Amino acid sequence: MRFESNGDSRKEVHARVRINSELGVRQFSHLNFDFNHSYEQIEIPQVRITHKSGGTAEILPSAITDQPNPAVASAPTYQDIRVKSVRILGLEPADILDYRVVTSTTHPPLAPDFWLDHNFDRTGIVSQENFELDLPSSRQPRVRVDPASPQPVIQNSGDGDAARISYRWSRTAAPEQASKDLSSAREPDIVVSTFTGWQQVADCLKPLLQPSEKSVREVSGKTSELIRGAKNTDARIEAIYNFVSQKIRTVDLPLGATGFKTRAVADVLSSGYGTQEDKYLLFAALVNSVAGPPRAGLISTTAADLRDWTPRPDAFDQLLTMSGYTAANFWLDLNLEVAPFGMIPSQIRGRHPFVIGPGVGNTWPAIDDALPFPARQTVRIDATLNVEGALDAKVKYSMRGDNELLLRVAFHQAPRDKWKEVAQLLALSDGFRGNIISVSASDPTATKLPFTVEYEITQPKFVDWSKKPVRVPALLPQLGVPELPSKPESGAATTPIDLGIPLDVDTRVTLRVPPGTSVEVPTGTVVDRDYATFASRYNTQSGIISASRHINFLHRKVPSDRAADYAAFLHAVQTDQAQHFTLSRTDTTPSPGATKAKPGSPKP
């Protein structure tokens, strides 16, 4: 990899791969290389197969295609975001694949600054990997090398403006290192950047993420249209947020794929689609006259804290919006398209985004780990068990909170003919087995209301009546109760037990059993604590079983000195959920109302 002082670069990759198995054949049947045609060019001067028999085959130029990235197939404005692919036929185990790829970058958007990160290959058994880096000394780039990585051989050459510094690494991986996971929560093995600090990154990106006065004027009519009838500033911001979030389709490109170059705000509005950066810019232009300019929050969804990382723009993968008109700012996610107003995905709440924009005081504030509404989930199940042992159940979910957002996104992104597959995964996650017959869901964009999902599931051989007696579970979703943390090492401080966001979960089932079935139900449980409550009820009457479990997490944490008390609470819940109904069939069908009943009573 060679960088010039003006930010241009040239990257040459030479890979020699021995194919060990059919899995390797499939993995290397296509080679894909992403690039931005507006400032990058890719050449593939060599693709050669050396067969185990000793013969060689060159891949013809006709096997190389250059097409827009699939993510921009319906977004013609971004056709410069492309993929060059090589289709490789004739590979077999024990063959050697040899290819070279050259990427040339000219006048990149953030030049003359440049940056790079590199991880040594851990996707297979690497016999040897050589990495060479050639940098202009005049730019005084920062080079960070992970202490666990091989240390480079460093060489200086030239004088004055022509002075350069080169680094050469050579790494041989032991076989046991091939399966080692590279955590994305830490910095890559090698990082290079000409940015001297995060403030310089902010100064570089701020002009690109700030709408011009002309843009604000151009969309002022749309602003007036959107806020018409809104009674206060919060309602006006919400109206603008709902429009940009839901009506402007998010083009699923990585953050920075366009070099942080943005389109004209009016073009984004008229086309109805945009990247993360474009949607943010449109929102900023629309909301400017209502609540002042917002701020952009750049964040990593994998690394919790980037404050001590080497400053560079590609450390981030998501753009959030900080809005508000007083000190009480709030965060928005414009890109999921169906996130309720003020709701941020759970995996990034509590993290520190890098904030860019006007009037920024704290550039690394923490995102409040809270929801804009109480979290609640209800599940209602209406089930029937027939004389053949088949179970048919109708299940209805209604939810607010983190699970709501997950399901909104899943049903919004899946075509309707795939909804059964989504419902099947939902059923499996809650312990329900069987085939999904039908499914329906509320409008994912109706974010002011709880999200509801209904499906019908059938299991032909749920019970075997030849077994006496038959024991069946309560047909209720398993409640997710946090486990006790592992014991700390000797001398280490104990940590509180994390219960997560306060959440109220109420589950109920009605199960009809065939005539002539006697039923024994378990005993209910009631456990009250100041941090959580749990109650279950089990009853049967006239061939109908009813059961309910209700858990309410009231606090976010349980102090570590109450671990024994929480362990007792957890044990009570787990013991209750392990209980079963006992069913038995008689040879003679009893008259109506003769079904044996044994109502359960709560234990203290």
pLDDT at residue 600, rounded to an integer = 45
pLDDT at residue 317, rounded to an integer = 94
- When mean pLDDT is compared across 30-44, 336-350, 583-597, the lowest value belongs to 583-597
Q: Which two tokens stand for residue 50?
A: 């050396």
pLDDT at residue 54, rounded to an integer = 86
Judged on CB neighbours under 10 Å (0-12, 13-18, 19+), 511 is buried
pLDDT at residue 202, rounded to an integer = 95
Q: What is the DSSP string of 236-289?
A: HHHHHHHIIIIISEEP---TTTTTT----HHHHHHHTEE-HHHHHHHHHHHHHH
Contacts of 44 (CB under 8 A, 6+ apart): 33, 64, 84, 86, 99, 100, 101, 102
- Other C-beta atoms closer than 10 Å to the C-beta of 512 total 15
Residue range 484-499, pLDDT digits in tens: 888 776 666 678 999 9
Q: Is the peptide bond before 76 cis (omega within 30 degrees of 0)?
A: no
pLDDT at residue 175, rounded to an integer = 53
- When mean pLDDT is compared across 299-308, 330-339, 377-386, the lowest value belongs to 299-308
pLDDT at residue 53, rounded to an integer = 86
- Other C-beta atoms closer than 10 Å to the C-beta of 548 total 19
User: In this structure, is the dihedral angle defined by the CA atoms of residues 265, 269, 270 and 271, taken in order, positive or negative?
Assistant: positive
List C-alpha distances in Å: 42 to 13, 34, 37, 83, 101: 11, 9, 9, 10, 7
Q: Which residue has the tokens 């984004």?
A: 268
Average pLDDT over residues 117-129: 88
Percent of all residues in the chain with a pLDDT value above 70, rounded to a whole number: 93
- Other C-beta atoms closer than 10 Å to the C-beta of 369 total 14
Strand 249-250 versus strand 273-274 pairing type? parallel
Q: Which two tokens stand for residue 429?
A: 């996650």
- The H-or-E segment that residue 203 falls in is helix 198-205
Judged on CB neighbours under 10 Å (0-12, 13-18, 19+), 412 is middle
**pLDDT at 328 exceeding the cut of 80:** no
Residue range 243-259, pLDDT digits in tens: 999 999 999 999 999 99
**pLDDT at 133 exceeding the cut of 70:** yes
**pLDDT at 590 exceeding the cut of 60:** no
Residue range 362-397, pLDDT digits in tens: 899 999 889 999 999 999 999 999 999 999 999 999
Q: Which two tokens stand for residue 213?
A: 């006065």
- The H-or-E segment that residue 30 falls in is strand 30-36
pTM above 0.85, yes or no: yes
Q: How confident is the model at residue 104 (pLDDT cuts 50, 70, 90)?
A: very high
Tell me if 381 sits within 8 A of 509, measured CB to CB. yes
Distance CA 29, CA 373 (A): 49
List C-alpha distances in Å: 395 to 16, 378, 521: 54, 11, 21
Q: How confident is the model at residue 180 (pLDDT cuts 50, 70, 90)?
A: very low
**pLDDT at 527 exceeding the cut of 70:** yes
Tell me if 100 sits within 8 A of 298, measured CB to CB. no
Tell me if 458 sits within 8 A of 383, measured CB to CB. no
Residue range 147-160, pLDDT digits in tens: 988 899 999 999 98
Average pLDDT over residues 528-550: 96
pLDDT at residue 325, rounded to an integer = 65
**pLDDT at 326 exceeding the cut of 80:** no
pLDDT at residue 13, rounded to an integer = 97
Average pLDDT over residues 261-290: 96
Judged on CB neighbours under 10 Å (0-12, 13-18, 19+), 578 is exposed
The residue with greater pLDDT, 592 or 542, is 542
Residue range 211-242, pLDDT digits in tens: 999 999 999 999 999 999 999 999 999 999 99
Q: How confident is the model at residue 598 (pLDDT cuts 50, 70, 90)?
A: very low
Q: How confident is the model at residue 591 (pLDDT cuts 50, 70, 90)?
A: very low
CA-based radius of gyration for the chain: 30
User: Mapping DSSP to helix (H, G, I), strand (E, B) and coil, where does residue 291 land?
Assistant: helix
pLDDT at residue 597, rounded to an integer = 40
Distance CA 556, CA 572 (A): 20
Q: Which residue has the tokens 């890719």?
A: 42
**pLDDT at 546 exceeding the cut of 90:** yes
Average pLDDT over residues 129-135: 96
Helices (H), 382-536: 402-413, 419-429
**pLDDT at 163 exceeding the cut of 50:** yes
- Other C-beta atoms closer than 10 Å to the C-beta of 257 total 21
Residue range 470-481, pLDDT digits in tens: 999 999 998 989
Residue range 453-466, pLDDT digits in tens: 999 999 999 999 98
Residue range 269-279, pLDDT digits in tens: 999 999 999 99
Percent of all residues in the chain with a pLDDT value above 90, rounded to a whole number: 80
Residue closest to 317 by CA, chosen among 299, 340, 336 = 299
**pLDDT at 593 exceeding the cut of 70:** no
Q: Which two tokens stand for residue 289?
A: 């006259």
pLDDT at residue 594, rounded to an integer = 40
- Other C-beta atoms closer than 10 Å to the C-beta of 484 total 12
Most confident by average pLDDT, 172-181, 284-293, 436-445: 436-445
Q: How confident is the model at residue 604 (pLDDT cuts 50, 70, 90)?
A: very low
pLDDT at residue 485, rounded to an integer = 84
pLDDT at residue 596, rounded to an integer = 40
Distance CA 31, CA 93 (A): 17
pLDDT at residue 589, rounded to an integer = 45
**pLDDT at 182 exceeding the cut of 70:** no
Q: Which residues of 16-37 are buried (b: 16+ CB within 10 A; e: fewer)?
A: eeebeeeebbeebeebebebbe
pLDDT at residue 467, rounded to an integer = 86
- The CA angle 527-531-532, to the nearest 5 degrees, is 40
Residue range 40-69, pLDDT digits in tens: 999 999 999 999 888 999 988 889 999 999
